[in-house]
Amino acid sequence: MIQFLLNQVLRTEHALDPNLTVLNYLREHLGKPGTKEGCASGDCGACTVVIGELSTDNDGAEHLRYRSLNACLTFVASLHGKQLICVEDLKHQGQLHSVQKAMVECHGSQCGFCTPGFVMSLFALQKNSNEANAHQAHEALAGNLCRCTGYRPILAAAEQACTQREPDQFDQRQAETIARLRAIAPKETGELNSGDKRCLIPLTVSDLADLYDAYPQARLLAGGTDLALEVTQFHRPLPVMIYVGNIAEMKRIEHFEDRLEIGAATSLTDCYAALTAEYPDFGELLQRFASLQIRNQGTLGGNIGNASPIGDSPPLLIALGAQIILCKGDIRRTLALEDYFIDYRVTARQESEFIEKIIVPKANARQAFRAYKVSKRLDDDISAVCAAFRLHIENGVIVDARVAFGGMAAIPKRAAACEHALIGAPWTSATVERACAALAEDFTPLSDFRASKEYRLLSAQNLLRKYFIELQTPHIETRVTSYV
C-alpha cells in the first residue's frame, strides 16, 4: 500500500502495478490528461509534474519543498509519503494560476502540447525563487521543448511569473499540507504489489540490506531516470524493485575536515551546492547534466550504479580519488571508485550489495582540478567525451596526476599512460604533447552516433591541451561552453 497527497486529496493505493509511471497513472487511472506524453524518455518535459516534500532547514524548521520532475520516468511507488501536483491542480476557484496567466499574456503557447509541462516547470521555479534571474529561468526550462512558439515569449512568461508573483492556494494551505504530510509520513517498510510484481520501500539502510538479501534478483530504484527506461523504452517488466529514495540516511551529505560523504540516494540537485563549493568545475558539469527535472530525481548513486561508459560524474569522481562504501547485509567495504568499473556494465558489486555512500576528498589548494564535457548540445545532452584532470604541480614539476575520461572506453577509466608521461616531468607544452600522444595508448574509442573514434581521441587530447592553457593563463574561462 502507498499513500500520498494528490494536491490536497489523500490517495491510498493498494494494488497498482509497480511498473506504472506517474504519467500513465494520471492519464489512464485518474482520467487527468493535462500531463502530456511527448517522448516517454525524459527528453521533452511535456510530462512535467511537481512533487512537494517535507524538508528540514539548518535551524530544524520543517518546510515544503517543491521540485519539478518527469512523470514519464517516475514509478508510482516513489510517491509514497509525498504530494503530487499536476497541471489540473493549478487553476483555483475558476481563476488561472499566475504562471498560467503569464503564459497567456506573454503569448507563450501555440498548439499547446508542451504548455502543461512548461507551466509546471514555471510553477516550480516560482515556488523556489522570488526573483528568478534569466539564468535560473533558462535552467528551469532547459528540459522543456516547444516546437511552435520559440522560447522568447516563454522566457518573458517566466520573468512575469517570478516578478509578479501572487500568493496562491498552495501558500495559503502550506501549514495544512505540512500537517497532512507529517501524518502520512511512512513509519515502516512499505510495499506496492500487483499480480507477480512488487516494489518494496524501506526506510533504513539495515532494512534495505535485509530486503536485498531476501530478494537478490530485485532491481534497486533510486530516481528511476535510467531504470524506468527499461519499462518505457524497452518494454521489459521489472518484477521486483526496492526503492531507496525514502531512506533518509542515504540522502544525507556529511562534511568532514578532509572529505564529503554523500549518501548514494542524494539527488544531483542536492549534491550541487556541496560539490560546487569544493570544485566549481563539478558544479558547472552538474548544470549541464541532463535537465533540472532529471537532476531533481536522478541520484549520484544511480549515476555510478548504472555503470554507463558515458556517465558524467564517474570520470570526475575517479580523478578526485573518490571511494564508495558498498554494503551487503551487515558487511561494509570501501572501494576506490576506479576499481568498481570492470567491463562494459560489469562492476565489482556482488549479489545483494549496494552503494551506500560516495566519499569525495575535499579540495586541496595544491591540486588543480578541472573537468570538461563535450556534447552535441550545451543543455540536456549526454557526453561524447567527458574529461577530468587533477594535477599537483610543485616548482614547475608535476608531482602527481590523476586523469580520467568517460566516453573513451567501455568504462569510465583513468589514463595510465598519460599520467605516467606527466608525473615527474616539467609542466611544459612539450610534456603535454607527450601526454597527448600517450592517450592513444590508453584508449581505443568507439565510433557511434555521438562521435567518431577519431573525434573522441582528438577531443581528449585537445582537452588536455586546453587544461594546460587554462592553468598557464587562469583568467581564460573557456571551459563552461565546451561543446561540439
Residues contributing to the site for ligand FES (CB under 6 A): 37-40, 42-47, 70, 72, 109-115, 146-149
CB 92 within 8 A of CB 44: no
CB of 142 to ligand FES, least distance (A): 12
CB 423 within 8 A of CB 398: yes
Identity of the residue, 226 or 284, whose beta carbon is nearer to ligand FES in the bound complex: 226
Identity of the residue, 139 or 312, whose beta carbon is nearer to ligand FAD in the bound complex: 312
Q: Does 220 bind ligand FAD (CB under 6 A)?
A: yes
Identity of the residue, 162 or 316, whose beta carbon is nearer to ligand FAD in the bound complex: 316
State how far the Cα of 73 lies from the Cα of 385, in Å rounded to an integer. 25
Q: Does 303 bind ligand FAD (CB under 6 A)?
A: yes
Q: What angle do CA 286, 289, 292 make, to 5 degrees?
A: 90
Q: Does 44 bind ligand FAD (CB under 6 A)?
A: no
CB 2 within 8 A of CB 80: yes
Q: Does 222 bind ligand FAD (CB under 6 A)?
A: yes
Number of C-beta neighbours around residue 480 at 10 A? 14
State how far the Cα of 401 lies from the Cα of 366, in Å rounded to an integer. 12
| Partner that binds at residue 26, options ligand FES, ligand FAD, none, CB closer than 5 to 8 Å by kind | none
Q: Which positions ≥6 away from 477 have C-beta within 8 Å?
A: none
CB 65 within 8 A of CB 50: no
Q: Applying CB under 6 A, which part among 151-159, 289-297, 417-425, 464-472 lies near ligand FAD? A: 289-297
CB of 308 to ligand FAD, least distance (A): 6
Q: Which 83-142 positions form the footprint of ligand FAD (CB under 6 A)?
A: none
Q: Which of 315, 345, 351, 348 is nearest to 334 (CA)?
A: 348
| Partner that binds at residue 39, options ligand FAD, ligand FES, none, CB closer than 5 to 8 Å by kind | ligand FES
Q: Does 341 bind ligand FAD (CB under 6 A)?
A: no
Q: What is residue 130's three-state secondary structure? A: coil
CB 45 within 8 A of CB 36: no
Chain mean position to CA 284: 13
CB 165 within 8 A of CB 126: yes
| Strands 219-221 and 240-243, bridge-based pairing | parallel
Q: Applying CB under 6 A, which part among 194-202, 254-262, 286-294, 335-343 lies near ligand FAD? A: 286-294
Of the candidates 23, 50, 203, 221, which one interacts with ligand FAD according to CB under 6 A? Answer: 221
Of the candidates 52, 81, 202, 298, which one interacts with ligand FAD according to CB under 6 A? Answer: 298
State how far the Cα of 277 lies from the Cα of 255, in Å rounded to an integer. 12
Q: Does 43 bind ligand FAD (CB under 6 A)?
A: yes
- DSSP letter, residue 425: S
Q: Which of 380, 375, 483 is nearest to 143 (CA)?
A: 380
Here's the x/- map for ligand FAD, 381-420, by CB under 6 A: it reads as: -x--------------------------------------
Identity of the residue, 96 or 410, whose beta carbon is nearer to ligand FAD in the bound complex: 410
CB of 426 to ligand FAD, least distance (A): 35
CB 314 within 8 A of CB 402: no
Identity of the residue, 26 or 324, whose beta carbon is nearer to ligand FES in the bound complex: 26
Here's the x/- map for ligand FAD, 250-269, by CB under 6 A: it reads as: --------------x-----
H-helix or E-strand spanning residue 211: helix 205-214
State how far the Cα of 402 lies from the Cα of 423, in Å rounded to an integer. 9
Q: Does 190 bind ligand FAD (CB under 6 A)?
A: no
In sequence order, the β-bridge partners of residue 241 are 199, 219
Of the candidates 17, 281, 312, 419, which one interacts with ligand FAD according to CB under 6 A? Answer: 312
Q: Does 290 bind ligand FAD (CB under 6 A)?
A: yes
CB 58 within 8 A of CB 125: no
In sequence order, the β-bridge partners of residue 260 are 255, 360
Q: Applying CB under 6 A, which part among 38-46, 111-119, 430-438, 446-454 lies near ligand FAD? A: 38-46
Q: Does 227 bind ligand FAD (CB under 6 A)?
A: yes
Identity of the residue, 138 or 392, whose beta carbon is nearer to ligand FES in the bound complex: 138
CB of 386 to ligand FAD, least distance (A): 8
Q: Which residue is nearest to ligand FAD (CB)?
A: 302
State how far the Cα of 166 lies from the Cα of 154, in Å rounded to an integer. 19
Q: Which of 315, 318, 344, 313 is nearest to 446 (CA)?
A: 344
Size of the site for ligand FAD (CB under 6 A): 30
Contact set with ligand FAD (CB under 6 A):
41-43, 219-227, 244, 264, 289-290, 294, 297-299, 301-303, 305-306, 311-312, 354-355, 382
